Amino acid sequence: MLKILTVPNPILLQKSRPISAADINSEKIQKLISEMTVTMIKKDGVGLAAPQIGESIRLIIIQHQDGPIAMINPKIIKKSLIKEWGEEGCLSLPDMYGEVKRCKKITVKYINNKGKEKQIIGQGLLARVIQHENDHLDGALFIDKARKVVNIKDL
């Protein structure tokens, strides 16, 4: 299982670089996808971004109803105008929760672990998770956008 970085690690605040087409099928990236998936599941997460494990690259793993999905170089290409508040937490900010306003529905283009370009429409929780993880790739944390941030250790 991979070690998850926590705030204030500076890698969490950096913009990640894209993964080249030549690197997608490399042993390093394929192993990273596998290890990130295992780590996300063992940590009971619904998403994990590469910067959270110390890799400043544009790779996220998302828990989907059909199983985990690796999204390489994800790009949100369409967002609903309707937004909603919802509670979020983060493996890199243990014990912290807050309400974040996110688009209810998004369309994302990405490259899968086999190097194929894909597109997915996310609604509700799936849309929220993708937006949260995509923020990590841009060096943003949920607490940057949250209201009513609570540390459960303070309760």
Exactly one of 55, 88, 99, 133 is catalytic; name it.
Answer: 133
**Residue 154 corresponds to which tokens in the numbers above?**
């303070």
Cβ density class 26-45: b for 16+ within 10 Å, e for less: eeebeebbeebbebbbeeeb
Q: Is 99 annotated in the active site?
A: no
DSSP string covering 12-39:
GGSPPBPPPHHHHTSHHHHHHHHHHHHH
Segment holding 61, helix H or strand E = strand 59-64
Which amino acid is residue 72, in one-letter code?
Answer: I
**Residue 152 corresponds to which tokens in the numbers above?**
């459960």
Which residues are within 8 A (CB) of 132 and not within 5 positions of it... i.e. 6 or more apart?
47, 88, 90, 100, 102, 142
Catalytic residue numbers read 133
